[in-house]
Structure 1
Amino acid sequence: MKYFTIEELCQSTTADRKGIDNRCSNEIAANLTALVDNVLDPLRIWYGKPITVNSGYRCPALNKAVGGAATSQHMNGQAADIDTGDRQQNKLLFEYIRKNLSFDQLIDESNFAWVHISYRADGKNRNQVLKL
């Protein structure tokens, strides 16, 4: 973990505002570490500029508060929503991940408003590409 931290991946303004404890267990931290080591850090090295994590780990209460899917990989520490602040740059990240990195799901959210990326530490990654 070179460019991202567990704390960053667990930080949530919604959790802070609603008083939700979004700290993660060791098992979740291991999943987040795998996501960073296999996707986020390699992506950041290639991109050469900061990438913001809008949403990483979400405990069940936080996931419900933000309207996340009941089966969201965010709750397992396997997913992050990332953003550069620019849709074209987000599309660039999306295409790089699609062509060069292993992942479980890669989702273009709202025409590249942000990119959802997930990774399974057990190696059962589907390389599923979606547009929402």
Structure 2
Amino acid sequence: MDGRVSHAFTTLGFKIYLNSGVSYSGLCDTKTRSITLRAANDTAYHELGHFLAFIAGNADKSSEFQAIYNEEKGKYTAINKAYATQNSAEYFAESFKEYTLDPSALQKNRPKTYNAIVNALSKVTDQQIAKVQAVYGPIWK
């Protein structure tokens, strides 16, 4: 796991909860500063991908990433392709999971996506964390 993401996660007071009773595999909720997982598994990395996109200024919704998504989503081959490629947010999150678990495969198969993840990670600085805290802190209280 990239240390910048875990640092931002803890600094901003986010928590991970396990709840076997939920109907979904995982959910990142920035309003409640939480990730809820049905089970402790690799889904955590996917949900942390949503967190990264949020911290990096909604990187998954930028016009630059939208272009990468449209160009490279067809190269995504995992069993959950329909889910992971339904929109740029899920594609970004699933790509962060792949970046975490097998970065060389991501770099080889979807190099622009790999570079977009690296770029998003480069935006996770103490300044950016402070900016997110300043903007969302009043909402989180």
- Tell me the TM-score normalized by structure 2: 0.30
Greater per-residue strand proportion: 1
Question: Greater Rg, structure 1 or structure 2?
Answer: 2
Greater per-residue helix proportion: 2
